[in-house]
Structure 1
Amino acid sequence: MWGRVKRAALAVACVMGAASAAQAGPTLDAVRARGQLVCGIHTGVAGFALPDSRGAWQGMDVDLCRGLAVAIFNDASKVRFVPLSSSTRFTALGSGEVDVLFRTSTQTMLRDTTLGLRHVAAYFYDGHGFLVRADMNVQRVRDMAGATICVLQGTTNEQVTADYFRSINVPFQPVVFERTDQAAAALQTGRCDAFGSDASQLAAVRSTMPNPAQWQVLPERFSKEPYAAYVRRGDEDWFELVRWYTYAIIEAEEQGVTRDNVEEMRRTSANPNTRRLLGVTPELGQSLKIDPLWAANVIRAIGNYGELYNRHFGENTPIGLPRGPNNLWTQGGLMYALPLR
């Protein structure tokens, strides 16, 4: 009797599990019904999101949006980009204007606990710095007493700048802008003595100036700025998809899977981790309610994490930003994928 009860309970559990697996969360369902992912990005900063000469968006955040569209549709074109300012990005996500933010957004405790949003997995590690004219001969930020400093409204950089100067009891004058291009223009015309922002964005701004050699990013760093995608709270299926999608790109680099060899590795690899990642065994895709070949499709479309970084920030780009903390953990960096198993 007890055996029959247990078997019946197990059967019910299996049926319920299968029904649950067949239904995705509301965000993924809405994206599929729309036939398009709507992705919030930066209004314009080289390396992360910037239109090219044809008006097509390029950058790491842009590619991450395209890759997520591939994970869902196996089609990188099924994404619409919504450029958002620092002060409007979280409101736009919370209101449903976009499905996800890939927009140089730092993970912080208060953002995680007070906005009705969730940050996902870190895909870029940065720190607050300052961009100044090279002929100012400034070596330390504490030497800029009374300086006028450009900052962006609604960013952690606005607070970090104020906190630092307050902590050393040095006066400064903030000038607040809505967009990066506005702050960069003010810096070049002399309205500001320095621009305070994340070092990667300062390096990107410097690379787009008429004479980059006239400018320098000071070596000091004043904060931890781990960027992550943001999603709305209350949809665990969507959170898990964006989270494990981010980890899959990092894991691909760890396993040596690239755009060029992904098909060969899917056919020939005997490594169980690689076989799971590339959908030879289908359980990862099934758990996320998407195509078992999702990760292989993504890597074929945009590459692994190292390929992404090198394409947009590497030594052969105008930005030329060393990977530093964005190296894999096996190479002294912080990029570390949780186990995909």
Structure 2
Amino acid sequence: MLRRGLAAAFAAFCATLAGTAAAQTNIPSPTLDAIRARGTLNCGIHTGVAGFASPDSRGVWQGLDVDLCRGLAAVIFNDVSKVRFVPLSASTRFTALGSGEIDVLFRTSTQTMLRDTTLGLRHVTTYFYDGHGFMVRANAGVNRVREMAGATICLIAGSTNEQVTADYFRSINVPFQPVVFERTDQAAAALAAGRCDSFGTDASQLAGTRASMPNPRDWTILPERFSKEPYGAYVRRGDDNWFDIVRWYTTAIIEAEEQGITRANAEEMRRTSVNPNTRRLLGVTPELGQSLKLDPLWAYNAIRAIGNYGELYERTMGENTPVALPRGPNNLHNNGGLLYALPMR
């Protein structure tokens, strides 16, 4: 009788867990519902920095963050045109997300503990690894940041770079003069005009700024790095399904590169692959999409739209672009980098 009683209690416990899991699975996503009703994804991006987000000669936004927005639109609508880009400064980006002006922020935004715990927002999976650096004129005779005593340094308001710069110069007891701007293009113009001796921000953004200068060879990015700057998308707290969609979409783009799935071969691999991981990712078996309340082809549609992470990187800031930034830490883990797709099963 005791055994039967324990078995009955265990069965009831399992049923309760199953019911709880089913209830959680069926919790609606206010953000996803609003996007579908609106017919457009509102995506926050940079106001303009080459490689991540900048308009081309036709006024069309291009860059890594921009294409991540387009890929997310493909996940939801299978249509990369159903996205509205909202350019935001560093000081307004989190307010815009918190107020509901945008649905997701893909904007060179470092993931930090205080941002994650105090803003009512959640950072998602890291998609880019960077570090704070400084750019100076090539003929300035400066080889190390320590040599910039008394220098005037351009910085961006509301960025982690303000604090990183102040902390470093304080730590070595060297004075400097900050000149703070709202936007990167303003800081770049001040640097070019001689109002600043240096520009301090993340190295990838320095590379993008240098590429936009009339004579890029006139500028040198010093080799030292003074912080860890892992970029991730941000979403509002309280919508777990939307967090999961953005998280696993970002992971899927990295996973596609790990598996060798590209824009060109995704259709063939979907038809012919016998690899269970590939079949799950490309929607041959539907469980991944079902878990996110999405079409089974959600990841396939994104990969067909923007490619895998490697394709995306090389197209927007790789060595054959004006930014010409080697992948370094943004390579796959098995190629000496830090990118690592979580298991999608």
Give the TM interval when normalised to the shorter protein.
over 0.9
The amino acid of 2:280's aligned partner reads: R
Q: How well do the aligned residues superpose, as a CA RMSD in angstroms? A: 1.8
* Preserved contact between residue 21 and residue 286 of structure 1 (Cα < 8 Å): no
Q: CA deviation at 1:86?
A: 0.3
User: Are residue 316 (structure 1) and residue 330 (structure 2) matched?
Assistant: no
> Secondary structure at 2:139's aligned position in 1?
helix
List gaps (5 residues or longer) in structure 1: none
Task: Tell me, in whole angstroms, the C-alpha distance in 1 between the residues paired with 2:93 and 2:22.
Answer: 36
Correspondence for 2:29: 25
Q: CA deviation at 1:54?
A: 1.0
Summarize the alignment of residues 134-153 of structure 1 with structure 2, pairs less than 5 Å apart. Answer: 134-153=138-157
Taking a change above 3 Å as real, the CA distance of residues 160 and 17 of structure 1, as seen in their structure-2 partners, is closer
The amino acid of 2:208's aligned partner reads: A
The amino acid of 2:343's aligned partner reads: P
- Scaled by the length of structure 1, what TM-score is found? 0.96
Correspondence for 2:192: 188
Correspondence for 1:58: 62
Aligned equivalent of 2:249, options 214, 224, 245: 245
1:95-144, CA deviations, whole angstroms, 9 ceiling, x for partnerless residues? 11100000000000110111110100000000000010000011000000
Aligned equivalent of 1:272, options 276, 297, 316: 276
User: Are residue 215 (structure 1) and residue 219 (structure 2) matched?
Assistant: yes
Q: Taking every aligned residue pair, what percent have the same amino acid on both sides? A: 77
> Secondary structure at 1:245's aligned position in 2?
helix
Aligned equivalent of 2:99, options 73, 77, 95: 95
Summarize the alignment of residues 129-168 of structure 1 with structure 2, pairs less than 5 Å apart. Answer: 129-168=133-172
Correspondence for 1:257: 261
Task: Tell me, in whole angstroms, the C-alpha distance in 2 between the residues paired with 1:156 and 1:291.
Answer: 38
1:261-299, CA deviations, whole angstroms, 9 ceiling, x for partnerless residues? 000111111111111111111100000000011111100
List gaps (5 residues or longer) in structure 2: none
The amino acid of 1:320's aligned partner reads: A
User: Are residue 112 (structure 1) and residue 116 (structure 2) matched?
Assistant: yes
The amino acid of 2:342's aligned partner reads: L
Task: Tell me, in whole angstroms, the C-alpha distance in 2 between the residues paired with 1:9 and 1:220.
Answer: 56
* Preserved contact between residue 44 and residue 51 of structure 1 (Cα < 8 Å): yes
Task: Tell me, in whole angstroms, the C-alpha distance in 1 between the residues paired with 2:20 and 2:121.
Answer: 29
Q: CA deviation at 1:24?
A: 3.0
* Preserved contact between residue 69 and residue 79 of structure 1 (Cα < 8 Å): yes
* Preserved contact between residue 151 and residue 177 of structure 1 (Cα < 8 Å): yes
> Secondary structure at 2:267's aligned position in 1?
helix
* Preserved contact between residue 24 and residue 289 of structure 1 (Cα < 8 Å): no
Aligned equivalent of 1:175, options 179, 182, 205: 179
User: Are residue 297 (structure 1) and residue 301 (structure 2) matched?
Assistant: yes
The amino acid of 2:210's aligned partner reads: R
> Secondary structure at 2:313's aligned position in 1?
helix
The amino acid of 2:146's aligned partner reads: R
> Secondary structure at 2:134's aligned position in 1?
strand
Correspondence for 2:333: 329
Number of matched residues? Answer: 341
Q: CA deviation at 1:25?
A: 1.1
Taking a change above 3 Å as real, the CA distance of residues 136 and 68 of structure 1, as seen in their structure-2 partners, is same
The amino acid of 1:311's aligned partner reads: R
